[in-house]
Structure 1
């Protein structure tokens, strides 16, 4: 009997996208590499650029769906496998996840999902002997999987237990579970328009949020959407668009964006008329920020430097925005890899960095100036507790409470102390894809004269 010839990705439509998805999943789950790095960063998978736009979009959605639903997928596969997922062949595990995710949540015919997953394991030497198993399990998934998902619909299997337990302690069980369920929904595309937001909501078949952000369900390459090339708007989650507004009128003022890349807040401040000094330690991320400014026809001074070491500019600084590095647990809707890359132990190291950044910002700020501190984290140590510690250590700073009118009269976005706290379950919508916000914290402080 002749040896079986395995088809190459170029010979079987859709297989290349699934092989790259399997590689990237392995990078996240076994090599602790971020999605951003593997998709767009310096270490991007070499095959990503070779994919057609449609296949690239499919690959991205596959990876995101699996990571967003990883706990539920684990439950389903454990019920369909007598001996558990094979541990000696990572490609078999990936093929099962990829096939099941397509069957359960994606608009892919069941037979295609099964066939391409089988081909995926056949093309891997270590996994090839599991082709029959993958075929049988995914066929059962097509028949029984929906009922198995329904068994756990009300549970929160897709949030790591350590994280869910923290949220229950800090937000209460009902809110914690609402947050976890909201994170499981595929998010919309949020954009900030330079002008005429209502017009862009219409052109992009979206809707206006109360905060002024345009939200749309359009998919595909962002660069191909109307208005992108001419610099009419930029992508920015609705919650991320709020902190830069807390400076009020910045016309003619010098504002430092101390951890600036990728630049959404720098862009907001520049559009509002500020002289912005954007500081970031990453040359590659700063290049991307400059490219965005050029596309949008906006100006900002850019500095590649470690914010903690930066000596400051040559002019008095009226305001400083510290969008500090953090665990990013508030962005899991858009970055589902965060759930599986972060550990509770990461919080201490990041809060130490946040403390140094806040101390630096305080020293650079002119008397009477405004400091806005924000993080895309849901963890109190990186939010209210960090600000409380700073205020206790710096007698020359005071909190300036945020008014509901500054956040579109959405009082539920404010804490009793007057800080901003958005949650993934905020702004609910009949269509879950059009609801929700990234989890953000922001506080506004003033330096004494």
Structure 2
């Protein structure tokens, strides 16, 4: 099914058509949602339709196993994947309270436009009408979606079955919008009607269009998950310190470090992602030196502190990026783990004697967190952990283990959870 153009009438079809394109790309393994959007999949839509398309695609991918369970009794055999994705999108819309008549008509229209799918419009009509008769109650009876086996197995081994089930429950709820304030967080929370979290981030349950929120245009805040915001706080740069944000884009941590008064160098391999960072620096009025390049080739040293948010499996971000389990299979884990170790070693060589490194990953896998720190300490005599750097406002003592801070989606489950994250603060030897 091809990506369609924006229709003249504002009937919701443009957003649904774009959402279906995003779902097709993710389920096929061609592109993550973020990659499709970065390559312009939504650029021809209005801001409202862009937001709606992204929400529809995200929710459908989040609820994919639940939708498949609901659809299964009405399908004698599986239709082509493009038709199946239209059924899934329709099922999730109906399951979340959309008017069945409008959803059925929209999905029938979408499949009728494709040469390979038009013969299935009768099937789509019949199946979605049956779901419409059950309504949201039928959808709610389906079990909470489980993670795929390639990921669930390692997580159960690491954290136990009950903890993984608690994570899955949080994943199914979706994610509120977290933001970091440039200035007074309490004042901004009152202005936005947001919850001020114990760690200082702000949380909005129903955010709507992000760029339309108060304070966005004036650069008073930026979007950043509450867990991700803790890494820069652990580094705690003093005003005037030279700090390297080693894998900086899209830039939330760079903005934090600059707002703390550090002289920041923001380094990243992706020029496209650095464009977003530059836009946020301009919007917020904050300053940083922006450098495009491979972190392993970067040779300018003498930094007081380095923040290394290393490339990883991103398994901790599934509550916000539910396409990940469908678009990946874990085959890249080994290469990522080796790259993380290489980056830690290189980062330590860029520090001044006695400088500090915050290593973090948005991963739930110990091999990308706790194990990396254990092995780095073994490789580098004189390297030491600084656990006191992790004892920050809002951080529970039991979240801090021998190697660092372990955050999981099931923490703060009653507040909407948080990303899975691992953070460790290391200090290099004071000897040159």
Q: 1:16 aligned to 14, 17, 33, which one? A: 14
Question: Superposition pairs for residues 299-318 of structure 1, below 5 Å?
Answer: 299-313=287-301, 316-318=302-304
Equivalent of 2:73 in 73, 76, 79:
79
Structure 2: how far apart are the matches of 1:8 and 1:331? Answer: 31
In structure 2, the partner of 1:60 is 54
Secondary structure of 2:308's counterpart equals strand
| Unmatched runs of 5 consecutive residues or more in structure 1 | 1-6
Q: Secondary structure in 2 aligned to 1:444?
A: strand
Residue of structure 1 aligned with 2:374, choices 368, 375, 388:
388
Do structure 1's residue 118 and structure 2's residue 108 form an aligned pair?
yes
Alignment of 1:40-439 (within 5 A): 41=38, 43-45=39-41, 48-83=42-77, 85-87=78-80, 90-105=81-96, 107-144=97-134, 146=136, 148-153=138-143, 155=144, 157-313=145-301, 316-402=302-388, 405-415=391-401, 417=402, 419-429=404-414, 434-439=415-420
Mapped to 2, the partners of 1:37 and 1:24 lie a distance apart of 10
**Which one is further off, 401-410 or 258-267?**
401-410
For residues 11 and 233 of structure 1, what CA distance do their matches in structure 2 show?
Answer: 35
Give the structure 2 partner of residue 28 of structure 1.
Answer: 26
Contact 1:323 1:375 in 2 (8 A): yes
Q: Could you tell me which residue of structure 1 aligns to residue 36 of structure 2?
A: 38
Q: Distance in 2 between matches of 1:193 and 1:140?
A: 47
Give the C-alpha shift of residue 11 in structure 1. 5.0
What is the rounded CA distance, in whole Å, between the counterparts of 2:66 and 2:403 in structure 1? 37
Deviations 1:381-438 (A, max 9, x none): 11001111111111121111146641424224322x1511111111132xxxx42000
Q: Any conservation in 1 of the 2:29–2:326 contact (CA below 8 Å)? A: no
Asked if the contact 1:422–1:441 (Cα under 8 Å) also holds between the matched residues in 2, the reply is: yes
Report if the CA contact (8 A) 1:201-1:216 is conserved.
Answer: no
Q: How far apart, in 1, do the equivalents of 2:191 and 2:399 lie?
A: 29
Q: Is the 8 A contact 2:374 2:403 kept in 1?
A: no
Say which SS state the counterpart of residue 343 (structure 2) adopts.
Answer: helix
Q: Could you tell me whether the CA contact under 8 Å between 2:234 and 2:390 is conserved in 1?
A: no
State the Cα distance separating 1:249 from its structure 2 match.
4.4
TM-score (normalizing by structure 2) = 0.94
What secondary structure does 2:392 align onto? helix
1:33 deviates by 0.3
Using the TM superposition, give the Cα deviation of residue 52 of structure 1 relative to its aligned residue in structure 2, in angstroms: 2.5
Alignment check: 8 A CA contact 2:237 2:243 kept: no
Could you list the per-position Cα deviations for residues 108-127 of structure 1 after superposition, in whole angstroms to 9, with x for gaps in the alignment? Answer: 21110111011111111211
**Mind listing any 5+ residue stretches in structure 2 that lack a counterpart?**
none
| Shift of residue 151, structure 1, vs aligned partner | 4.3
8 Å Cα contact 2:390/2:405 also seen in 1: no
CA contact (8 A) 2:170 2:409 kept: yes
Q: CA deviation at 1:145?
A: 5.9
Distance 2:421 2:45 in 1: 34
Q: Deviations over 1:306-334 (max 9, x none)?
A: 00011114xx2111111001010101111
Q: Distance in 2 between matches of 1:136 and 1:412?
A: 52
Deviation at 1:10, TM superposition (A): 3.5
Deviation at residue 44 of structure 1 after TM alignment:
2.0
- The alignment yields a C-alpha RMSD, in angstroms, of 1.8
On the 8 A contact 2:305/2:355 being kept in 1, the answer is: yes
Total equivalences in the alignment: 426
SS in 1 for 2:238: coil
